Structure 1
Amino acid sequence: MAATDLSMQLLRQRELLELMLFKLEELEMLVTTGRTRWVQHATSEVERVAKALASGAILRDTMFVDVATQWGAPEATTLRELVEIAPTEAWREVMGSHHAVMTGLAEEIAQKRNAVNQHLRTALRVTQETIAGLGEPTGEYAASGALVGGAGSRLLDVQV
């Protein structure tokens, strides 16, 4: 049945979304702890998961059309709309669960992506300020990247 195939595809997409969230958290930990040696590898893994999500989306969209047709809905039906028109309570529950979990994961991924981007921008700014301040006091930074100390300390001692 097309609905079963769609449900299985949605489950695979959920697993990929969870993997994406994991990889973003991994990347965030690397950046915030200064373990920049592995950032390139973590970024590559995030990109691989994004490609897998994109390729799975094509198959999922095809399955949506099949299920929508079987359930008497227009071809351009969303998952939320499929929940509403599902022929049985069981299918409403299954599709509703997929919708709720995937929506939640998408929100978490967006938040985590924004946090990682902020950490990367902060790291870049601190590096640029450090390089620009060679020979001059650069101050002291908190873990967030904010300047917390005055001219008394340095990130890089150039008087060695």
Structure 2
Amino acid sequence: MGADELSATLWRGRRQLDFLLFLLETQLLHLRAGNWHRLNFTASELEKVLENLRFESLARGVEATALAKEWRAPDQFTLPALVEIAPPGVWAELLDEHRRALVSLVKDIDGAVAANISILEKGPDEARAGLDDIEILATQVNIERALAAVSEASLPFLRDFLGLS
């Protein structure tokens, strides 16, 4: 365990967050284009990446706890706190670069989440014309599933770790 393991975990998390942002933007493009029938696919993909992010959150917690112990950090620590107590050398700069990149991704994700929720909550009223009851019900179920997945992308544990809460 050590700073190199935490850094590797943060890299994996950054890739997953970038993929989450891609999926949110993709879903947003489909919604804006009126492709409401694609929600079953986009919601499914969002759920998968969010599951991966839950795993990455656990791994990050294990690695960060081990590093905090190694660096004699207090029990309640954040990534900014680890940056502050990093020993002389490259680790403070590298961990701070991870922090800046993660904060930027979180902000971009927040914007994509807000845009998705805004459109999902309005629903496809004009697209319902000509649909039968089962198609309308299926669309509503997909909207609810997509809303649940998008809402989960608020990432509270990551926000805490980044000192954003």
Using structure 1 for the length normalisation, give the TM-score: 0.75
Report if the CA contact (8 A) 2:10-2:98 is conserved. Answer: yes
User: Aligned pair count?
Assistant: 130
Match of 1:62 in 2: 62
Task: Say whether residues 1:93 and 2:107 are aligned partners.
Answer: no
Pairing 1:7–2:35 present: no
Cα deviation, residue 40, structure 1: 1.0
Distance 2:80 2:124 in 1: 41
Alignment map for 1:10-159 (pairs within 5 Å): 10-124=10-124, 126=126
Q: Rg larger in 1 or in 2?
A: 1
Report the alpha carbon displacement of residue 2 of structure 1 after superposing the two structures with TM. 1.1
Deviation, structure 1 residue 91: 0.5
In 2, the alpha carbon distance for the partners of 1:88 and 1:45 equals: 42
Q: Which residue of 2 aligns with 1:140?
A: none
Q: Which one has more relative contact order, counting CA pairs under 8 Å at least 6 apart?
A: 2
SS of match in other structure, 1:88: coil
Aligned-residue RMSD, C-alpha: 1.7
TM-score in terms of structure 2 length: 0.73
CA distance in 2, matches of 1:111, 1:103: 13
Cα deviation digits, residues 9-42 of structure 1 (max 9, x gap):
0000000000000000000000000112211101
Where does the alignment leave 5 or more consecutive residues of structure 1 unmatched? 132-160
Matched AA of 2:27: L
Greater Cα offset, 9-18 or 63-72: 63-72
Q: Is 1:65–1:76's contact at 8 Å kept on the other side of the alignment?
A: no
Q: Report the Cα offset of residue 88 of structure 1.
A: 2.1
Look up the equivalent residue of 1:61 and give its one-letter code. Answer: G
Contact 1:64 1:75 in 2 (8 A): no
State the partner residue of 2:151: none
- Which runs of 5 or more structure 2 residues have no equivalent in the other structure? 131-165
**Greater per-residue helix proportion:** 2
| Between 35-44 and 96-105, the greater mean CA deviation after superposition | 35-44
For residue 87 of structure 2, give the secondary structure of its aligned residue in structure 1: coil
CA contact (8 A) 1:23 1:46 kept: yes
Identity across the alignment (%): 29
